[in-house]
Structure 1
Amino acid sequence: MTPDGWALIEDVCELLRMDRSALATAVEQNDKARLQVDGDRIRACQGHSAAGMPVTREALENSWRRVIPADLLWHGTNTAALEAITREGLRPGRRTHVHLAPARNSHVGRRSAVDVLLGIDPAKLGQPVFEAPNGVLLVRSVPSEAIRLIQKADAVH
């Protein structure tokens, strides 16, 4: 695997013990377009683990598009994590980046089962925002002062 997450399709098929057509079907049927194919290579658009992988933040960021959002960005979470998040902000945990959605009702960039949505002010992030090929927005972290709105998730639907 390269530092920006690419692997040869042949190697992935061998590792997963699947043929190329089965992998192609998995890529096509993924509801959030999580996988990206380029010729004989494949990678996850985002969601890379930070530990134990050859992937680096810098290489990933260089492969994504840098954006300057004007509107609030969104992150879904559960109520159990809310107190720590409001105190410490959002951290990527075992991943390289925090995932954000461009809209409250976005299909990408947020978990499907969440209790609350956090509205993030991009002007308060103090760092670049990147967009993966599937539309997920990514940052290294979100400081607590960038969290502008906390909304029940069911209010979105």
Structure 2
Amino acid sequence: MSRDSRAISRLLRHTVGERGLTMSSDGWATIADVLNLLELPRDRLDAAVLENDKQRLQVDGERIRACQGHSLDGMPVTREALENSWERVYPDHLLWHGTTRAALPAIQREGLRPERRTHVHLAASKDSPVGRRTAVEVLLGVDSGNLEVFRAPNGVLLTREVPADAIVRADAVH
């Protein structure tokens, strides 16, 4: 991911409030404001959107947003507005979440919580790049039957939290 892509993603997911950028509750900001704040020309923003490795950035006319992954602290986004902008889905198979062995005991007791983010990220398959950071040692199988699950425009599946009893598998990553 390029420096521009990282800067735009960071701004739209985590630092809008502290940087003074106006953003709607579902994450949209004007491209002109983003360009001005980051001192970028439009062609570099367009290239950053295209090359973003996780397709985190979404452009609609003259506005831009991060598809998902927003912090709650200091951000104008709300869970409700984001969910209303995403597609509600009803998976009929296990969903997956990557974690570390060290985090596993707490997750098995307390479930998955978004902490300072709006939602927990899930993936439709074990081989999905979603949630596959370099530190992933365990893939958790989640029974989504009683969860509200949403799909962001970039395909990431999201839910507000995953109770411990919905985690039905823990598979080591080789």
Q: Fold-level match, TM-score > 0.5?
A: yes
Of the candidates 147, 151, 155, which is equivalent to residue 171 of structure 2? 151
- Matched with 2:8 is none
- Matched with 2:132 is 111
Of the candidates 111, 118, 132, which is equivalent to residue 89 of structure 1? 111
Q: Which runs of 5+ in 2 are unaligned?
A: 1-22
Question: In structure 2, the residue corresponding to 1:149 is in which secondary structure?
Answer: strand
Within 1, Cα distance between the matches of 2:147 and 2:104? 22
**In the alignment, residue 139 of structure 2 is paired with which amino acid?**
L
- Matched with 2:30 is 8
Within 1, Cα distance between the matches of 2:170 and 2:66? 29
Of the candidates 124, 127, 135, which is equivalent to residue 155 of structure 2? 135
Q: Which runs of 5+ in 1 are unaligned?
A: none
1:50 aligns with 2:72: yes
Question: In structure 2, the residue corresponding to 1:134 is in which secondary structure?
Answer: coil
Within 2, Cα distance between the matches of 1:29 and 1:46? 17
Deviation string 1:33-66 (CA, Å, 9 cap, x unpaired) is: 1100000000001001111111000000000000
TM-score scaled by structure 2?
0.85
Within 1, Cα distance between the matches of 2:115 and 2:62? 31
Within 2, Cα distance between the matches of 1:89 and 1:24? 38
Alignment of 1:25-64 (within 5 A): 25-64=47-86
Q: CA deviation at 1:112?
A: 2.7
TM-score scaled by structure 1?
0.94
Within 1, Cα distance between the matches of 2:32 and 2:132? 30
- Matched with 1:122 is 144
- Regions of 4+ moved over 6 Å: none
Deviation string 1:89-137 (CA, Å, 9 cap, x unpaired) is: 0000110000001100012x313321110000011xx331000001100
Of the candidates 89, 92, 100, which is equivalent to residue 78 of structure 1? 100
Kept after mapping to 1: 8 A contact 2:147/2:162? no
